[in-house]
Structure 1
Amino acid sequence: MKRTVAVIQARMGSRRLPGKILEPLHDDVSLLAYQCRRLRHTEGVDELVIATTTARRDDVIAELAQREGLRVCRGSEHDVLGRFVLAADMSLADTLVRITSDSPFRDPGVIARCVAEHRAHGAEYTRPQAGHLPKGLRAEIVETRVLRQIDSDRATTDREREHVTIRIRENPDAYRCLAVGFADNLHHPEFDLSVDTADELEFVRMIHSSLQARAWPADIDHICALLTETALAQPQQQGLAS
């Protein structure tokens, strides 16, 4: 059986909102800690690890990983592809799930579905179909050997090292790619649950508060239902928690 490992790429040096992943989503639970707790027992995933950088400012991320009982891999700040290969080496991963740390509501059910379809079809790269899910709730599954090939290719550009899977996405005919379809009620690409600004941080806090007020779980079905019901998909709009 292939070993599948989910890797959260995380660093403190965000250009627009530095340190955002350690900002609280609710109470004293940070965006990153919340995501770790949601994803650590995802069906079909053998381990969850955090890949951060060797920069001193990212020591706090390594400390968070330790508190959450997760292994951490540290590598280059700019060579994110290299970090994923290091994480694969450390965890003996045959298959990797790529997760960014600025989307706290990423759904383990979505990841589990993509992993299962990836295995069933013998794919090299899998993601949800375009337009089928909100931004920040998607997942990428990729075979480690494919990333190794890209990493070892002397023609690999800095852009490809920063964005990890962009060569695959821009050259889909060169790989066995799979797009996973989801139900019609989840076709909301206009919703954005990622955090890159202070307004977006406040928006995801409002979503969490609104879900709590309704006693709804923070899964993709209920988040889409909430945003559709309130017709609020942008951080600047108000009234979500009412």
Structure 2
Amino acid sequence: MFSSSPRIGVISQARMTSTRLPGKVLLPVAGQPLLHYHLARLQQSELPLYLAITSNATDNPLADFAAATYLPCTRGDEHDVLARYHQCAAEHELDLIVRVTSDCPLLDGQLIAEGVRTYLRQADPRLYLSNALERTFPRGFDFEVFSRELLDEAFSHAKLPSDREHVTPYIHQNRSGRVRFQHITRTPDRSQYRLTVDTADDFTLIRTLIEDFGAAELSGDELIALLDVHPELVAINQHVEQKKL
């Protein structure tokens, strides 16, 4: 059981050395870096926000951005992102963690808030809740909610490099055998839409949506409705294949 007022935080991971589009999270759109839009959307959740970046000098621009925007920032190993999350959660004494990635500039903060409320109603620290394992939302709306208990367990027992780099496989593959799952799904399914930034074409779509369609001010449902009636926008990055874990 959680305490009556668990400490909840959204931890977003970021790095400047993306293999397909280096520096993507600070690429400018309408005079602001993509990371600005990502954080502004997360603020709609009304939850505390934290940034987890690497200790490499290449990520100093991200640390500078965090300092300039008064965003708490944890720095750690480039490849052991699980350790970075664990360090951030420990530093801020979090009981419940929402995991997102910073290459999703148009995620839905209100959807995340509802996911957290759903999680808290369960009062079960063995619960893992996500909208990404059973994918029905656009890629780029992804979030995961899990307890500090599950994070501590993964940090202590996960051994595979893929478990450490991708943070939650130990949890969502139920390696302990004691995890309970809840999936947030959407009807109708819109998992074919891609609103994450991993390639130049992804960036072109996001820039077009923000600069020409005011997407930064739209709700998640409004964004999906916009893509429903503009197949030419969907086509911009429809061919992009997501990198495999």
Tell whether 2:171 aligns with 1:168. yes
Which string of whole-angstrom CA distances, capped at 9 and with x for unpartnered residues, describes residues 184-227 of structure 1? 25x20000111111111011111113422xx8832211110011
Matched AA of 1:70: L
Match of 1:61, SS state, is helix
Identify the match of residue 9 of structure 2 among 5, 8, 19. Answer: 5
Paired-residue identity, %: 33
Whether the 8 Å contact between 1:32 and 1:104 is mirrored in structure 2 is yes
Equivalences for 1:65-214 in 2 at 5 Å?
65-123=66-124, 124-128=127-131, 130-153=134-157, 156-171=159-174, 174-182=178-186, 184-185=187-188, 187-212=189-214
Whether the 8 Å contact between 2:201 and 2:237 is mirrored in structure 1 is yes
Q: 1:159 to 1:236 in 2, by over 3 A?
A: closer
Q: Distance between the aligned counterparts of 2:85 and 2:235, measured in 1?
A: 32
1:83 deviation in Å?
0.3
Corresponding position of 1:33: 36
Matched AA of 1:192: R
Corresponding position of 2:242: none
Mind listing any 5+ residue stretches in structure 2 that lack a counterpart?
A: 239-245
Mind listing any 5+ residue stretches in structure 1 that lack a counterpart?
A: 238-242
Matched AA of 1:157: L
Matched AA of 1:168: I
1:137 deviation in Å?
0.7
Q: Distance between the aligned counterparts of 1:170 and 1:233, measured in 2?
A: 31
Q: Distance between the aligned counterparts of 1:226 and 1:132, measured in 2?
A: 17
Q: Distance between the aligned counterparts of 1:92 and 1:28, measured in 2?
A: 35
Which string of whole-angstrom CA distances, capped at 9 and with x for unpartnered residues, describes residues 84-124 of structure 1? 00110111100111010101001101110110111111342
- Per the normalisation by structure 1, the TM-score is 0.88
Whether the 8 Å contact between 1:39 and 1:107 is mirrored in structure 2 is yes
Matched AA of 1:176: R
Matched AA of 2:61: V
Corresponding position of 1:240: none
Q: Distance between the aligned counterparts of 1:217 and 1:33, measured in 2?
A: 13
Q: Distance between the aligned counterparts of 1:21 and 1:235, measured in 2?
A: 19
Q: 1:149 to 1:60 in 2, by over 3 A?
A: same
1:236 deviation in Å?
4.7
Whether the 8 Å contact between 1:4 and 1:94 is mirrored in structure 2 is yes
Count of aligned positions: 229
- Per the normalisation by structure 2, the TM-score is 0.87
